[in-house]
Amino acid sequence: MKLCLVITTRGNYAKVKSIIQAAENDPDVELQIIVGGGAILAKYGNIADSLTTMGVNVDRRIHFLVEGETPVTMAKSAGLAVSEFTTAFENLQPDVVMVIADRFECLSIAMTASYMNIPVAHMEGGEVSGSIDESIRHAITKLSHVHFPATREAADRIIRMGEAPETVFPVGATSLDVIAGLDLDNLQPIMEKQVSAGVGARVDLAQPYLTVIQHPVTTEYAENLEHVNQTLNAIHELGMGTIWIWPNMDAGSDGISKGIRIFREKHVDAPMHFFKSLPIEHYAPLLKNAKAIVGNSSSGIREAAFLGTPCVNIGSRQSGRDRSSNIIDVGYDKAEIKAAIQKQLDHGRYEENHMWGDGKAGPKILEILKTFDFTIQKRICY
């Protein structure tokens, strides 16, 4: 079986690492890896070079991002991605293409593979969230031939969308596989990385600190700058050491990046360190030992729950997603954000919640794919 995995963001790698490891040890699987989009650009951390350093073979590197991070460039990037992935799939001739979650380029991948009669396997479908992401996720579900949702609830939604129950396998979130196998108490690598990478003050991780990730919300494009300013000012007034990770490549990213740059120019002595990107091997211990994760990343919903890390979830990006008790939801207001962080600091760690999986999803996915009887022609099941 020729299994094609596509990595376009730092989060994608975390979600396919356990599948890569399982496939590399399986003589019945030929692994194909395509890296593109933000994963090959320096401004987003260039994950491709890190993969090569780790000994992961990259079969294709493709460019499809139109710069600007606006709704127009995102739509054009999605269109260009169709053309580029068509060429890549024609050359590689995969038996199965794995599509992850809900990013705009993932819809391009699923559409391309479907038109080319290549079976599509979809991870993390069936979930509810805000922004355009939910529409994209459900569209990918209807283009996919086998489904690997993270929870039973998500699996039920997929079936209610008319997908055949025998094609739906709630295996859990694959990002938890990597976390489950790491030494989460070792913060020394991220301490050292602050010297060689990123900008800002060096944060002493032996002291209480926050982790912040705030991505743009595409349906609130014009407001992203003001939204991140509220978060920046709330964090600044608390005065805690903070590791801040740069936003993703969605429309509105430039607004958030602009807010961060202006803040840094005005507050050069703020106890914050900013990274473009962090590999999961560094990020997981950082998240595990943070007093709270703040922002709107899905890792505050999923991985933080698995680790018991308090989360302050800001705004609408994760609206409607299944939640553990570790989360406090707030709006885009400095005082509200600051109060919620303080509440989480007073509360401390939560009990670990495994609603998103047990850390063994990757090998399960590979075993199912090896024996699954794919039918390219789909039919709604009601």
Q: Is the pLDDT of residue 2 over 90?
A: yes
Predicted pLDDT of residue 49:
78
Inter-residue contact 132 to 104 (CB < 8 Å)? yes
**Alpha-carbon span 89 to 33, nearest angstrom:** 11
Residues facing residue 3 across a β-bridge: 31, 96
**% pLDDT > 90, the chain:** 84
Predicted pLDDT of residue 375:
92
Inter-residue contact 125 to 140 (CB < 8 Å)? yes
- Between 130-139, 232-241, 368-377, the lowest mean confidence (pLDDT) is in 130-139
pLDDT digits (tens, 9 = 90+) for 186-214: 999 999 999 999 999 999 999 999 999 99
Inter-residue contact 311 to 301 (CB < 8 Å)? yes
**% pLDDT > 70, the chain:** 100
Give the max Cα distance, the chain.
Answer: 61
- Is pTM beyond 0.85? Reply is yes
Tell me the pLDDT band of 133, cut-offs 50, 70 and 90.
confident
Q: Is the pLDDT of residue 231 over 80?
A: yes
pLDDT digits (tens, 9 = 90+) for 161-185: 999 999 999 999 999 999 998 999 9
Closest C-alpha to 173, from 323, 306, 319, 31: 306
Domain ranges of the chain: 2-173+357-371, 185-347
**Alpha-carbon span 311 to 210, nearest angstrom:** 10
Tell me the pLDDT band of 139, cut-offs 50, 70 and 90.
very high
Predicted pLDDT of residue 172:
95
Q: Give the pairing type, strands 199-200 and 272-275.
A: antiparallel
Tell me the pLDDT band of 251, cut-offs 50, 70 and 90.
confident
**Alpha-carbon span 29 to 37, nearest angstrom:** 26
**Alpha-carbon span 298 to 248, nearest angstrom:** 12
Predicted pLDDT of residue 321:
86
CATH number of 185-347: 3.40.50.2000
Predicted pLDDT of residue 95:
98
Predicted pLDDT of residue 10:
79
Inter-residue contact 281 to 54 (CB < 8 Å)? no
**Alpha-carbon span 158 to 370, nearest angstrom:** 22
Tell me the pLDDT band of 130, cut-offs 50, 70 and 90.
confident
pLDDT digits (tens, 9 = 90+) for 288-347: 999 999 999 999 999 999 999 999 999 999 988 888 999 999 999 999 999 999 999 999
Residues 2-173+357-371: name the CATH superfamily: Glycogen Phosphorylase B; (3.40.50.2000)
Tell me the pLDDT band of 1, cut-offs 50, 70 and 90.
very high
Question: How many helices (H) does the chain have, and how many strands (E)?
Answer: 15, 13
Q: Do domains 2-173+357-371 and 185-347 have the same CATH topology?
A: yes
Predicted pLDDT of residue 119:
98
> HSE-up of 16 (CA within 13 Å, CB side)?
29
Neighbours of 360 (CB within 10 A): 14
Neighbours of 138 (CB within 10 A): 17
pLDDT digits (tens, 9 = 90+) for 38-78: 889 887 777 777 787 778 889 999 999 998 889 999 999 99
- What 3-state DSSP class applies to 199? strand
